Amino acid sequence: MLTQLTTPGFAFELQATLGHARAGILHTPHGPIATPVFMPVGTAGTVKSMTPGELEAPPIDARIILGNTYHLYLRPGLDVIRAHGGLHRFAGWDRAILTDSGGFQVFSLAALNDIDDEGVTFRSHIDGSKHRLTPEVSMEIQGVLHSDIAMAFDQCPPGDAPAEIHDRAMKRTTAWAERCLHVKRPAGQALFGIVQGGIDLDRRARHAAELTQLPFDGFALGGLAVGEKIEDTYRVLDAFAHTLPRAQPRYLMGVGTPDDLARGVAAGVDMFDCVMPTRNARNGSLFTSQGKVTISNAKHRLDTGPLDPECPCHTCRTTSRAYLRHLHIAKEILYNRYATLHNLTFYARHMARLRERILAEGSAASA
């Protein structure tokens, strides 16, 4: 089942379903993206320590990465990216890019912020300079970045925020979503809306009912993994993800562990992003087929075996756990590259297995 999305050049092809889980292809101007997919995070225009060539090559074979409106706006600045004609050329990346709206970072990172119905005034976490971010400004920044998929500007409250805060955030997010849709986007840039509502299912359903009336190309679940208990995250996913429009991609923002991804896929989510594989790699926490490995542990000091004998990545084919431990403890830059390459490979293969199971055991999607 192939559905042309609102923005020319984009289509979502639903191939098979297994329960609520889906396998599909998101067609973009920068190439097709097999779903379910994990998108490596390149906040500042780089997936930390990785070159574009390494991300594009098997076994990672990333078809889409993330950039961030807030960070790229503050540094290096729009004049630099505009001079390159957009983020693809600036970063040397020829495949698809999704950009976050900057809303989450404004609310979580800015030293000070003042939220009103028009937008947010904040001070940079870098130098304290004062800035104003509105739905229109967020879309204009993403227009300069010229990402394939832009995200509507939203208000993301903490998971434990009181009900009145969530209600206000939902109202603002809907109003801001409508304003984002009225901003002219560059050709070939799709726009996704973001559903808020915290962990209350009725609130989520009400907000989704509002947003799905708007002509977005896809819909994201925001406001999860922001302080709530994991059982509440799963409860929302299980009850709600599959209710989002069937013919459009569904995106779970900022989640998570390999188990979280499997749970999200089972709930009907198509797209995921998280800093976990890259950040955990730098901090010495590595995902393997035998479970998580803390590479600094003394037991690895004389271990001449590979990190994961089942992994085909360059790290596992050429280095030992002892060598990785040495690089990590010595704070050698090479460690970050080896570890990140491995964790991203683990995530890519994890998602590929989930997709293969849906295709093999599921039913072909029908109109």
Which residues sit opposite 193 in a β-bridge? 219
100 carries an active-site annotation? yes
Q: 212-225 burial, b for 16+ CB within 10 Å, e for fewer? A: bebebbbbbbbbbb
Distance CA 226, CA 108 (A): 10
Q: Which of 270, 273, 303, 308 is catalytic?
A: 273
Q: Tell me the β-bridge partners of 21.
A: 18
**Six-digit token string for 225:** 């993994």
How far apart, in whole angstroms, are the C-alpha atoms of residue 98 and residue 140? 15
C-alpha span between 131 and 203 (Å, rounded): 31
E strands present in 53-108: 64-68, 96-100
CA 196 – CA 67 distance, rounded (Å): 21
Residues contacting 298, CB < 8 A, separation 6+ = none
User: Following DSSP, what letter does each residue of 156-179 receive, concatenated?
Assistant: ---TT--HHHHHHHHHHHHHHHHH
Residue tagged 């990465």 (tokens): 65
What burial letters (b/e) apply to 21-32, b meaning 16+ CB within 10 Å? Answer: bbbbbbbbebee
d(CA 162, CA 126): 30
Tokens 């971010």, residue?
133
Among candidate residues 21, 20, 28, the one with its CA nearest the CA of residue 12: 28
d(CA 67, CA 103): 13
3-state DSSP helix/strand/coil % of the chain, to nearest 5: 40, 20, 40
Q: Enter the DSSP assignment of 299.
A: G
Q: Give, for 150, the enclosing helix (H) or strand (E).
A: strand 149-151
Set 79, 100, 148, 238: catalytic member: 100
CA atoms of 328 and 343, how far apart (whole Å): 15
Give the catalytic positions in this structure: 100, 273
